[in-house]
């Protein structure tokens, strides 16, 4: 029993999730670490650390060690994973000491970036580490029949990456990965407010604005929200009322990049599988796909059915945890 437990980790830019087949979802925390600048010791991780972003005194920093779906700061990611492992052991007990870990990587990750993910996961005490392509994990976690010879189209809009893949018979037929997603939407909102009102808002505020006022380009009844930030001219705090219409406009560019990537991927689909897409449509996962009106907008743009995965924020984690079973199944079919 010892050392043989397999857990799946979705090491996401925005959120890190841990899943095991027997226990289900064990942990779900923002990928944020708060640390002491001088001693480099970890003060908090996850939700607690996320709440500190932009609010810490000078001796504490709250950082996000992953960017665009890959590791940007190796040491801090390793610290984060070690703390995650401690918590997982706390929840599940010692049977997960030295677990086998399946972790996902974006399809666009380079071999150096993949190596860094494997090494960081090993450093948290894992025995064996295997990598799975993120969209394959998302498709498995979304209950798609990935091991059958039919086109399963998955569109995963994360914090740092958006991945579109057509999966058939256990593998990727064609895929596109763009390094944009929910984080860029937040950035666009910060830029918009700064340019138009000379008001600086923080990342957490921008994310809240996106979730409340953000709409994909569809007709909607305008709503407004009061936001607070720092007036760049006077340096003083200021409150401003912004509208969903202007935020919708600010998000257009990021969305059109995502749409372009979806179109390109669908165009690359082999003719034999194209018919499946018309019938079965595409499945959305990832937090970014929950933007108001995203599903409706996509249907209008690409003219195939668009479905939301059962738990869009958890699909990748569930899929990594379940993937070994699928890998077995697929390899049995081939042998």
Ligand X SMILES: Nc1ncnc2c1ncn2[C@@H]1O[C@H](COP(=O)(O)OP(=O)(O)OP(=O)(O)O)[C@@H](O)[C@H]1O
Q: Using the minimum distance from each CB to ligand X, give the nearer residue, 159 or 229.
A: 159
What is the distance between the alpha carbons of residues 178 and 261, in angstroms, rounded to a whole number?
A: 7
What is the distance between the alpha carbons of residues 317 and 137, in angstroms, rounded to a whole number?
A: 7
What is the distance between the alpha carbons of residues 136 and 234, in angstroms, rounded to a whole number?
A: 50
| Residue 319 in contact with Mg ion, rule: CB under 5 A | no
Q: Is 210 annotated as a binding residue?
A: yes
Residue 159 binds which entry of Mg ion, ligand X, none, CB below 5-8 Å type-dependent: ligand X
Q: Which stretch, 198-206, 212-220, 260-268, 310-318, contacts Mg ion (CB under 5 A)?
A: 310-318
Q: Using the minimum distance from each CB to ligand X, give the nearer residue, 287 or 319.
A: 287
Q: Are 80 and 31 in contact (CB under 8 A)?
A: yes
Which phi and psi (to 5°) does residue 23 adopt?
A: -100, -15
Applying CB under 6 A, among 56, 95, 245, 290 the residue interacting with ligand X is 290
| Residue 161 in contact with ligand X, rule: CB under 6 A | yes
Residue 181 binds which entry of Mg ion, ligand X, none, CB below 5-8 Å type-dependent: ligand X
Which phi and psi (to 5°) does residue 225 adopt?
A: -150, 140
Q: Are 62 and 53 in contact (CB under 8 A)?
A: yes
Applying CB under 5 A, among 8, 12, 99, 181 the residue interacting with Mg ion is 12
List the interface residues with ligand X, window 191-230 (CB under 6 A).
207, 210-211, 214
- The mark string for 61-90 relative to ligand X (x by CB under 6 A, - otherwise) is --------x---------------------
Torsion, Cα 257 260 262 265, to 10 degrees, reads -130
Q: How far is the CB of 232 from ligand X (least distance, A)?
A: 24
What is the distance between the alpha carbons of residues 289 and 208, in angstroms, rounded to a whole number?
A: 15
| Residue 182 in contact with Mg ion, rule: CB under 5 A | no
Q: Is 254 annotated as a binding residue?
A: no
Residue 141 binds which entry of Mg ion, ligand X, none, CB below 5-8 Å type-dependent: none
Q: Is 207 annotated as a binding residue?
A: yes
Q: How far is the CB of 332 from ligand X (least distance, A)?
A: 30
What is the distance between the alpha carbons of residues 61 and 82, in angstroms, rounded to a whole number?
A: 19
Sheet of 282-285, strand order: 171-178, 162-168, 152-157, 282-285, 306-308
Q: Where are the alpha helices (DSSP H) in the chain?
A: 46-50, 74-92, 111-123, 134-141, 182-197, 203-213, 244-267, 271-280, 294-302, 315-334
List the interface residues with Mg ion, window 145-164 (CB under 5 A).
158
Torsional sign, CA 141, 144, 150, 151: negative
Q: Using the minimum distance from each CB to ligand X, give the nearer residue, 266 or 292.
A: 292
Token pair in block for residue 232? 């760049």
Applying CB under 6 A, among 313, 318, 322, 323 the residue interacting with ligand X is 313
- The mark string for 7-46 relative to ligand X (x by CB under 6 A, - otherwise) is ---x-xxxx-------------------------------
Applying CB under 6 A, among 8, 46, 65, 182 the residue interacting with ligand X is 182
Site residues for Mg ion per CB under 5 A: 12, 158, 316
| Binding site residue list for ATP | 13-15, 159-161, 207-210
């Amino acid at each position: 029993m010892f050392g043989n437990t397999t857990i799946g980790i979705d090491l996401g830019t925005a959120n890190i999730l841990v899943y095991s087949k027997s226990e289900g979802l064990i942990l779900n925390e923002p990928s944020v670490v708060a640390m002491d600048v001088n001693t480099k010791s970890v003060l908090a991780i996850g939700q607690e650390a996320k709440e500190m972003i932009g609010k810490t005194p000078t001796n504490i920093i709250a950082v996000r060690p992953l960017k665009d779906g890959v590791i940007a700061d190796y040491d801090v990611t390793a610290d984060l994973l070690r703390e995650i492992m401690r918590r997982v052991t706390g929840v599940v007990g010692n049977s997960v000491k030295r677990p086998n870990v399946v972790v996902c990587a974006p399809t666009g990750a380079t071999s150096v970036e993949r190596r860094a993910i494997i090494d960081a996961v090993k450093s948290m005490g894992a025995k064996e580490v295997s990598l799975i392509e993120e969209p394959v994990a998302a498709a498995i976690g979304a209950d798609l029949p990935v091991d059958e010879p039919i086109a399963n189209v998955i569109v995963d809009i994360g914090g740092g990456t958006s991945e579109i893949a057509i999966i058939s018979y256990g593998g990727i037929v064609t895929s596109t990965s763009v390094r944009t997603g929910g984080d860029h939407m937040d950035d666009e909102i910060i830029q918009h407010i700064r340019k138009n009102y000379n008001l600086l808002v923080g990342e957490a505020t921008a994310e809240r604005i996106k979730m409340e006022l953000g709409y994909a380009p569809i007709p909607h009844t305008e709503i407004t929200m009061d936001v607070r930030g720092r007036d760049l001219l006077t340096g003083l705090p200021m409150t401003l009322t912004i509208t969903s219409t202007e935020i919708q406009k600010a998000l257009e560019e990021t969305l059109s990049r995502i749409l372009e990537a979806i179109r390109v991927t669908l165009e690359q689909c082999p003719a034999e599988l194209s018919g499946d897409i018309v019938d079965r449509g595409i499945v959305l996962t990832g937090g970014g796909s929950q933007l108001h009106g995203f599903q409706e907008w996509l249907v209008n743009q690409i003219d195939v059915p668009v479905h939301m995965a059962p738990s869009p924020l958890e699909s990748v984690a569930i899929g990594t945890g379940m993937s070994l079973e699928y890998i077995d199944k697929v390899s049995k079919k081939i042998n």
